[in-house]
């Protein structure tokens, strides 16, 4: 069972688990924990300060039967679902920007081919380009896991990497 | 009785749906925000269920008998303390430390509403009607009190299908567990309706369990031989879960792991995960010079080349033992890759495997084993996640009659320590 530590006084971030997505406005923080080959996709509209985070597991939802039921599971359907929900909340499609993080490849197994993380990254880039959403920042690939925190109000995506020497590296996108 | 992944998938959805309804009703009653934790379908022997249940905590349960589309028992179990907290939220003047008539009836009421939540969820998914008896209050610390007088309680050696859900409250301790024991005959009928492929004979699950048992024993034995630390199998279960649920079970802390892919019938992935302290203890036992003065607590934050290769070597030999155990039961050969070392957040070490398997399957059987040692830190979680189609094939080929005779010997000479 997952448990989450919280700093005293700080609002509890909304957890976005694997295959889930969440849309929010303002200062609420959305968080996805321990991404390996999964991909975090953050979309936001800087004008309305509405944004969302998806924790996608697989690249291609259009080829899958259950993508209607679980749009957040696939990079392509997650991006479309995030956009739709943001626009419903009042975001303007044309000003939406994207940031992505994750898609590591920690294991070099034969069955993994070119890398399972890499496939997710490519799928997200393709879908964003198709929809005309600019990808303004990314921190992808490599062989380390990542934890991300996204604040739609500011559009800040914090990426934390737990290094092998025990330190935590933080990148702000 | 036969089952297939479609049928089990429906069962799994039932469990999720039921847990969601039950959590919603608990929130409604107690004004405490709740959420559904892990939901699992377990195949467990009666013996393992009892062991799993018997931590020293006093528990209270509310039990109902089911009829109609599903016959069996549904039991909601709270830790005794949690049950008393729930009573406090409902009966505001109560600060009882014992169960009097009022608190007893309050808990029974809550438990009954939980049970009904689960059952309504199942009935929704199955699009049918399930009847529920009047609730019964049960109190005690051992499994016997809760299970033994059931009409079809699984004996020590019987393999039972068990639904387990955990619902936890945000910020407060009012979590509870839920168990469903369906009766064999009625489950057989439901499975028959849901099955959309050839499926696996239920009795072949015996083979599943035997595989798991042999594999786990081999791991504990090889670990003991290699490290000199006396280890044993603490928990062993066979879970059927949606892929996304697998990382949820892994602790979200930094772990040290060794991962393998294995190839044969079945193929799949095998992971050994150690907490950092256990990993240091192991390095210490295998290469006493590696952590300097030998005090595990003062070791360096990272694992140097010697430490890494010691852990990889242990993983390699444990993997051979585990898969030999399987191969012997299945009368086949299973090869495994060279070990991949990982020292990272546990979830991140598991998700590449589920991402890969997710291309072709939605659910997985997970052979989940915990190996521990008395007195020393040696906690090792073993996750074996076979490719679903391969596993079905392997089980269908399985000759149930020879399971008992299968020898298990891990041959240390054959291991390639590359």
* In the predicted structure, residue B189 carries a pLDDT above the cut 50: yes
Task: Give exposure, B158-195, as e/b (b: 16+ Cβ within 10 Å).
Answer: ebbbbbbbbbbbeeeebbbbbbbbbbbebbeebbeebb
Classify residue A90: in a domain, yes or no: yes
- Position A6 in a domain: no
DSSP A96: -
User: Per-residue pLDDT tens for B254-295?
Assistant: 899 999 999 988 899 999 999 888 888 888 888 876 554 444
Task: Work out the minimum CA distance from B263 to partner chain A, whole angstroms.
Answer: 10
Would you state the pLDDT for residue B366? Answer: 84
Distance CA B166, CA B355 (A): 25
Tell me which chain A residues have a C-beta less than 8 angstroms from the C-beta of B345: 33-34, 145, 147, 162
Contacts of residue A15 in chain B, CB cutoff 8 Å? none
End-to-end CA distance of chain A: give it in Å, rounded. 30
Q: Does A168 touch chain B (CB under 8 A)?
A: no
CB contact under 8 A, B355 and A17: no
pLDDT of residue A86: 95
Percentage, residues of chain A above pLDDT 90: 65
Say whether B349 and A35 touch across the interface (CB within 8 A).
Answer: no
Q: Which domains does chain B have, with CATH numbers?
A: 2-194 (3.40.1550.10), 200-414 (3.40.1550.10)
Nearest to B245 by CA among B22, B4, B15: B15
Report chain B's mean pLDDT, rounded to a whole number: 79
Sheet containing A39-45: which strands, arranged edge to edge?
A21-25, A50-56, A39-45, A97-102, A135-140
* Cβ–Cβ below 8 Å for A110 and B358: no
- Hey, is the C-beta of B389 within 8 angstroms of any chain A C-beta? no
pLDDT recorded at residue A6: 37
Q: How many distinct structural domains can be found in chain A?
A: 1
pLDDT grade for B415, boundaries at 50, 70 and 90: very low
Confidence bin at B43 (pLDDT 50/70/90): confident
Q: Indicate the range of A159-168, B11-20, B146-155 predicted with least confidence.
A: B146-155
Report the residue of A6, A58, A107 to disrupt the B interface, i.e. the one with the largest count of B CBs within 10 Å: A107
Length of chain A: 173
Q: Is A36 within 8 Å of B355 when comparing Cβ atoms? A: yes
Burial (0-12, 13-18, 19+ Cβ within 10 Å), A66: exposed
> What is the pLDDT, as a whole number, of residue B40?
77
A11: phi then psi, degrees, rounded to nearest 5: -65, 145
Which among A4, A110, A144 has CB closest to B344? A144
- The domain in which residue A122 lies consists of 14-172
Q: Write down the pLDDT at residue B2.
A: 75
Mean pLDDT over each residue of chain A, to the nearest integer: 87
In a domain, A161, yes or no: yes
Number of neighbouring beta carbons within 10 Å of residue B35: 15
> What secondary structure, in 3-state letters, does chain B show?
CEECHHHHHHHHHHHHHHHHHHHHHHHHHHCCCEEEEEEEEEEEEHHHHHHHHCCCCCEEEEEEEEEECCCEEEEEEEEHHHHHHHHHHHCCCCCCCCCCHHHHHHHHHHHHHHHHHHHHHHHHHHCCCEEECCCEEEEECCHHHHHCCCCCCCCCCCEEEEEEEEEEECCCCCCEEEEEEECHHHHHHHHHHHCCCCCEEHHHHHHHHHHHHHHHHHHHHHHHHHHCCCEEEEEEEEEEEECCHHHHHCCCCEEEEEEEEEEECCCEEEEEEEEHHHHHHHHHHHCCCCCCCCCHHHCCCCCCHHHHHHHHHHHHHHHHHHHHHHHHHHCCCEEECCCEEEEEEHHHHHHHHHHHHCCCCCEEEEEEEEEEECCCCCCEEEEEEECHHHHHHHHHCCCHHHHHHCCCCCCHHHCCCC
Confidence of residue B187 (pLDDT cuts 50, 70, 90): confident
Q: What whole-number distance in Å separates Cα of residue A43 and Cα of residue A36?
A: 20
Angstrom distance (rounded) from CA B23 to CA B34: 6
Pair type for strands A156-162 and A146-151: antiparallel
User: Which chain A residue has its CA at the smallest distance from B358's CA?
Assistant: A58
Residue A7 lies in a domain: no
Residue B364's nearest CA partner among B376, B354, B349 is: B354
Give chain B's radius of gyration (CA, Å): 22
Tell whether B172 lies on the interface with A, counting CB pairs under 8 A. Answer: no
Is A28 part of the contact surface with chain B (CB cutoff 8 Å)?
Answer: no
The CATH number covering residue A152 comes to: 3.30.1330.200
DSSP-derived letter for residue A144 is -
Residue A13 forms contact with B (CB below 8 Å):
no
Lowest model confidence (mean pLDDT) among A82-91, B101-110, B153-162: B153-162
Is B345's CB within 8 Å of A1's CB? no
Instruction: Find the helix packing angle between B80-90 and B5-30, rounded to 10°.
Output: 50
Task: Report pLDDT for B404.
Answer: 56
Is residue B51 predicted with pLDDT exceeding 50? Answer: yes
Per-residue pLDDT band for B418 (boundaries 50, 70, 90) equals very low
The answer to whether A145 contacts B337, with C-beta atoms less than 8 Å apart, is no
The string of pLDDT tens digits covering residues A4-16 is 333 444 556 788 9
State how far residue A2 is from chain B, nearest Cα, in angstroms: 6
Q: B174 pLDDT band (50/70/90 cuts)?
A: low
User: Is A30 part of any domain?
Assistant: yes
Q: Is residue A124 part of a domain?
A: yes
Give yes or no: A38 in active site.
Answer: yes
- The shortest C-alpha distance from A49 to chain B (Å) reads 27
Minimum CA–CA partner of A18 in chain B: B244
CB contact under 8 A, A1 and B248: yes
**Is the pLDDT at A48 greater than 80, yes or no?**
yes
The verdict on residue A23 lying in a domain is: yes
């Amino acid at each position: 069972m997952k448990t989450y530590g919280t700093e005293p006084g700080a609002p509890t971030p909304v957890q976005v688990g694997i295959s889930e997505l969440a849309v929010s406005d303002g200062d609420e923080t959305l968080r996805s924990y321990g991404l390996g080959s999964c991909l975090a996709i953050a979309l936001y509209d800087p004008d309305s300060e509405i944004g969302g985070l998806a924790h996608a597991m697989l690249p291609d939802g259009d080829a899958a039967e259950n993508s209607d039921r679980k749009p957040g599971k696939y990079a392509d359907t997650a991006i479309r679902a995030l956009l739709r929900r943001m626009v419903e909340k009042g975001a303007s499609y044309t000003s939406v920007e994207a940031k992505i993080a994750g898609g590591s490849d920690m294991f070099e197994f034969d069955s993994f081919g070119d890398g399972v993380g890499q496939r997710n990254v490519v799928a997200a880039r393709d879908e964003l380009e198709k929809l005309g959403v600019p990808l303004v920042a990314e921190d992808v690939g490599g062989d380390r896991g990542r934890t991300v925190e996204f604040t739609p109000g500011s559009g800040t995506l914090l990426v934390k990497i737990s290094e092998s020497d025990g330190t935590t590296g933080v990148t702000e996108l | 009785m036969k089952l297939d992944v479609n049928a089990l998938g429906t069962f799994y959805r039932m469990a999720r749906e039921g847990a969601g309804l039950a959590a919603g009703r608990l929130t409604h009653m107690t004004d405490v925000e709740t959420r559904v934790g892990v939901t699992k379908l377990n195949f467990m022997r009666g013996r393992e269920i009892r062991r799993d249940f018997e931590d020293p905590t006093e528990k209270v349960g509310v039990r109902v008998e089911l009829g109609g589309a599903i016959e069996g028992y549904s039991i909601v179990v709270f830790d005794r303390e949690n049950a008393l907290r729930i009573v406090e939220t409902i009966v505001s003047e109560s600060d009882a430390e014992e169960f009097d008539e009022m608190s007893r009836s309050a808990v029974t009421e809550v438990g009954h509403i939980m049970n009904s939540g689960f059952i309504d969820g199942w009935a929704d998914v199955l699009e049918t009607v399930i009847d529920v008896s009047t609730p019964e209050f049960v109190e005690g610390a051992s499994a016997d009190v809760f299970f033994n007088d059931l009409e079809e309680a699984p004996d020590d050696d019987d393999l039972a299908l068990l639904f387990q859900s955990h619902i936890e409250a945000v910020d407060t301790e009012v979590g509870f567990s839920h168990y469903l024991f369906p009766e064999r005959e009625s489950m057989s009928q439901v499975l028959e309706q849901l099955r959309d492929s050839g499926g696996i004979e239920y009795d072949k699950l015996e083979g599943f369990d035997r595989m798991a048992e042999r594999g786990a024993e081999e791991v504990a034995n090889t670990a003991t031989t290699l490290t000199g630390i006396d280890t044993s199998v603490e928990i062993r279960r066979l879970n059927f879960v949606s892929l996304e649920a697998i990382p949820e079970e892994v602790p979200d802390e930094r772990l040290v792991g060794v991962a393998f892919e294995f190839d044969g019938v079945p193929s799949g992935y095998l992971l050994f995960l150690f907490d950092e302290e256990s990993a240091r203890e192991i390095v210490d036992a295998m290469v006493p010079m590696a952590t300097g003065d030998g005090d595990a607590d003062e070791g360096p934050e990272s694992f140097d080349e010697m430490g890494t290769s010691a852990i990889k070597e242990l993983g390699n030999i444990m993997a051979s033992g585990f898969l030999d155990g399987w191969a012997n039961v299945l009368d086949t050969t299973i090869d495994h890759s060279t070990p991949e070392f990982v020292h990272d957040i546990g979830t991140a070490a598991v998700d590449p495997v589920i991402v890969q398997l997710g291309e072709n399957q939605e659910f997985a059987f997970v052979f989940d084993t915990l190996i521990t040692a008395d007195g020393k830190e040696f906690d090792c979680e073993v996750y074996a996640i076979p490719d679903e189609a391969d596993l079905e094939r392997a089980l269908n080929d399985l000759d149930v009659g020879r399971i008992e005779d299968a020898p298990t010997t891990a041959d240390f000479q054959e291991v390639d320590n590359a």
